[in-house]
């Protein structure tokens, strides 16, 4: 078969093989955070780079390829945890939509656990809010930041009780850290308190595993309320562009 007659899929296969072959000569340097999760204070790799064998930089052939100008949903599809992962936020947004919440709040539910699903669990409200802050209304990022604290505190006025799931996850006698309590106290008197509380009310923790919601259901809402940069997330120049780039290439050595 000549090059000219090769199909697109043949060429894609060849490219993939070539990338995997090049990967064999790469050293994957893990960030401290990966190792801390295993109780190790260690960064880098036990291997030493040298001629012909260097640290991996650029696209990681083990991960799904991303478009040059990735959108929010490209990250949902190609980087975020899939099951239950994105289904948790998609089903929460679906519930918010069914409950007749404003579009901005449906978006907040769609993004509320973006950190857990796509980035990092610890202090997920704060990381998640920071990631999307440049692209959404301030009320949306505020609500996402605060939902982490509000989840621990009931609000009878909207029928929100302490989550049973939290009793299973953390034990019946778990007490939130003082900074979470302080955040809750501050949030209570804020003008957007109820927006963050609405995330908690629609935060589906025992969702239906047989239902699959597709991100496309929220395409119009995202189009209207999430300012996707024309350069693609990570290629733009905002205070969180570097976070999107890290998600795209999580094992870059530097």
Give the footprint of Fe ion on this chain (CB under 5 A). 113, 203
3-state secondary structure 192-239: CHHHHHHHHHCCCCCCCCCCCCCHHHHHHHHHHHCCCCCCCCCCCCCC
CB of 109 to Fe ion, least distance (A): 8
Asked if 61 contacts 16 with a C-beta cutoff of 8 angstroms, the reply is: yes
CB of 18 to Fe ion, least distance (A): 41
CB of 57 to Fe ion, least distance (A): 33
For residue 170, what are the CA distances in angstroms to 150, 167, 174, 175?
Answer: 16, 6, 6, 9
Report the C-alpha gap between 167 and 95 in whole angstroms.
Answer: 23
Q: Nearer Cβ to Fe ion, position 78 or 166?
A: 166
What φ, ψ does residue 44 adopt, rounded to 5°? Answer: 90, -135
CB of 202 to Fe ion, least distance (A): 9
Q: Nearer Cβ to Fe ion, position 34 or 166?
A: 166
Q: Nearer Cβ to Fe ion, position 56 or 142?
A: 142
Report the C-alpha gap between 36 and 121 in whole angstroms.
Answer: 13
Q: Nearer Cβ to Fe ion, position 21 or 121?
A: 121
Q: Nearer Cβ to Fe ion, position 123 or 236?
A: 123
CB of 200 to Fe ion, least distance (A): 9
């Amino acid at each position: 078969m000549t090059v000219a007659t090769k199909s697109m899929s043949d060429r894609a296969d060849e490219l993939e093989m070539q990338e995997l072959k090049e990967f064999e000569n790469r050293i994957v340097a893990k960030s401290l955070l990966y190792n801390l999760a295993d109780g190790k204070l260690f960064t880098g790799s036990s291997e030493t780079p040298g001629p012909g064998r260097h640290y991996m930089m650029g696209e990681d052939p083990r991960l799904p390829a991303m478009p040059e100008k990735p959108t929010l949903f490209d990250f949902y599809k190609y980087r975020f945890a899939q099951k239950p992962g994105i289904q948790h936020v998609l089903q929460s947004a679906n519930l918010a939509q069914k409950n007749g919440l404003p579009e901005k709040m449906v978006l907040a539910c769609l993004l509320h656990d973006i950190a857990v699903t796509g980035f990092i669990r610890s202090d997920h409200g704060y990381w998640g809010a920071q990631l999307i802050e440049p692209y959404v209304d301030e009320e949306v990022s505020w609500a996402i930041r605060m939902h982490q604290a509000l989840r621990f505190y009931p609000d009878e006025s909207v029928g929100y009780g302490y989550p049973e799931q939290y009793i299973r996850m953390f034990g019946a006698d778990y007490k939130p850290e003082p900074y979470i309590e302080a955040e809750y106290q501050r949030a209570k008197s804020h003008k957007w308190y109820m927006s963050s509380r609405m995330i908690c009310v629609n935060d589906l923790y025992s969702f239906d595993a047989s239902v699959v919601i597709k991100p496309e259901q929220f395409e119009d809402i995202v189009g209207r309320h999430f300012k996707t940069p024309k350069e693609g997330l990570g290629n733009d120049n905002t205070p969180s562009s570097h976070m999107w780039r890290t998600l795209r290439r999580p094992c870059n050595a530097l």
